[in-house]
């Protein structure tokens, strides 16, 4: 009889992902270039909206750390709206249940994704939002585990992890063997609003999905 374990409690390290799923970080500099190929210009209105998100974030943060629901409300939702992920041909889902099966050990890992954007059956972005005090490094193994549940392993899947103030993108490829790579970390702390970069990358991932 299969044993079932929650992803968020049992798959917490990169070592566990390598042991259970043979998932390794890519050593090829050309593996994840999508986040580097930003060539779309943002409109003045988009920039103004991103600046407003940054200002609201710091205003709410000034008194206390921000919880996960607040981050979703003031940062994630307007950001995904700007990226066009609430409009056709995309589908937006929250608290989506996924599971990974390790047949050799008769194990099932199950968890819920905070936000999932779909274009037909291709997963565009898996978003794991955490409270502002939460380290992105701690959320990455969990996010990668969710991404391993992608029902279309012939295509790459992209993810984004954020604690509201920092963002990192992930690419996962499951073909000959599973491998992943990470982008730089984008932060709201610099004077220049790096949400500009985040939105441009999200838009590019959307374009890649539609063209696939």
Q: What does the block give as tokens for 110?
A: 């199950």
Average pLDDT over residues 54-70: 85
Whole-number mean pLDDT of the chain?
Answer: 87
pLDDT at 66: 80
Q: Per-residue pLDDT for 47 more than 90?
A: yes
- Calculate the alpha carbon distances from 25 to 17, 55, 102, 117, 198 in Å: 11, 35, 20, 24, 22
Q: Per-residue pLDDT for 193 more than 70?
A: yes
pLDDT at 104: 64
pLDDT in tens, 126-177: 677 777 667 788 889 988 998 998 878 888 889 999 888 899 999 999 877 8
Average pLDDT over residues 32-38: 91
Helix (H) or strand (E) holding 144: helix 136-147
pLDDT at 163: 86
Pick the CATH number of 24-96+113-211 from 3.90.1570, 3.30.1920, 3.90.930, 1.20.58: 3.90.1570
What is d(CA 92, CA 118) in angstroms, rounded to the nearest whole number?
6
Average pLDDT over residues 89-114: 83
Average pLDDT over residues 47-69: 89
Residue 187 · residue 194 · CB < 8 Å: yes
pLDDT at 124: 62
Q: What does the block give as tokens for 144?
A: 């990668």
Cis peptide before 89 (omega within 30 of 0): yes
Q: What does the block give as tokens for 19?
A: 């042991």
Please list, in sequence order, all residues whose beta carbon lies within 8 angstroms of the beta carbon of residue 117, skipping any fewer than 6 positions away: 80, 85, 90, 91, 92, 93, 123, 124, 125, 127
What's CA 80's distance to the chain center, in Å? 12
Degrees, nearest 5: CA angle 200-53-62: 135
Q: Collapsing DSSP states into helix, strand and coil, what is residue 58?
A: helix
- Calculate the alpha carbon distances from 154 to 8, 121, 177, 212 in Å: 25, 12, 11, 11
Average pLDDT over residues 170-189: 91
């Amino acid at each position: 009889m299969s044993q079932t374990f929650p992803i968020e409690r049992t798959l917490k390290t990169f070592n566990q992902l390598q042991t259970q799923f043979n998932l390794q970080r890519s050593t090829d500099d050309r593996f994840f270039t999508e986040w580097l190929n930003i060539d779309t210009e943002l409109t003045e209105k988009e920039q103004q909206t991103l600046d407003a998100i940054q200002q609201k974030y710091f205003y709410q943060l000034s008194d206390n750390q921000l919880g996960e629901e607040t981050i979703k409300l003031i940062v994630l939702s307007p950001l995904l709206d700007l990226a066009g992920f609430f409009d056709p041909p995309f589908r937006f889902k929250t608290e989506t249940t996924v599971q990974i099966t390790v047949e050799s050990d008769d194990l099932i890992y199950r968890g819920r994704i905070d936000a999932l954007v779909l274009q037909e059956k291709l997963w565009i972005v898996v978003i794991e939002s955490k409270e502002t005090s939460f380290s992105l490094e701690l959320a990455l193994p969990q996010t990668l585990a969710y991404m391993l549940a992608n029902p279309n392993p012939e295509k790459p899947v992209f993810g984004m992890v954020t604690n509201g103030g920092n963002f990192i993108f992930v690419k996962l490829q499951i073909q000959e063997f599973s491998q992943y790579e990470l982008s730089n970390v984008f932060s709201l702390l610099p004077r220049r609003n790096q949400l500009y970069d985040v939105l441009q990358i999200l838009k590019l991932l959307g374009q890649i999905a539609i063209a696939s």
